[in-house]
Amino acid sequence: MTHKILILNGPNLNMLGEREPDIYGSDSLEGIGVACQHKGQTLGMAVDFRQSNEEGELVTWIQSAAKGYSGIVLNAAAYSHTSIAILDALRAVDLPVIEVHLSNIHRRESFRRHSYVSQAALGVICGLGAQSYLLALDALARILDEE
């Protein structure tokens, strides 16, 4: 069976490539999406890669993943540090979640060190740029294989 994986990106990640490249690198979000699609193919997974600047839209997408998806990779961006609504949605769907960040949130301002998303995540991968997403797909493939 092909697992469907939902990869969600939060606010301002549509500006990757132009936005603070010293922190987030020069990859565009589109480029990361293509790399994730290719990685998914090698792992026998169908990847659905999306971005929204709106908290409510991310919550709605997480809720709808309960039907038909096997796991979630989530870079909630700034909402990681603020959103109880996203945490509650992740808890409601009961799917394996891997939290990712491009930057190492533990090396930056102290307000980035706390993430609500982490409380619902099986694992957290940060600081490795686009590679954070690809490693998250590897991790999910293994977790789903073991189920």
User: Which spans of this chain sit near ligand DQA (rule: CB under 6 A)?
Assistant: 12, 75, 77-78, 80, 101-103, 105, 112
Residue 122 neighbours by CB under 8 Å, 6+ apart: 96, 97, 98, 139, 143
Smallest distance from ligand DQA to CB 81, Å: 6
* Rounded distance between C-alpha atoms, residue 61 and residue 89, angstroms: 9
Residue 131 neighbours by CB under 8 Å, 6+ apart: none
Smallest distance from ligand DQA to CB 75, Å: 5
Q: Which residues are catalytic?
A: 24, 101
* Rounded distance between C-alpha atoms, residue 143 and residue 138, angstroms: 9
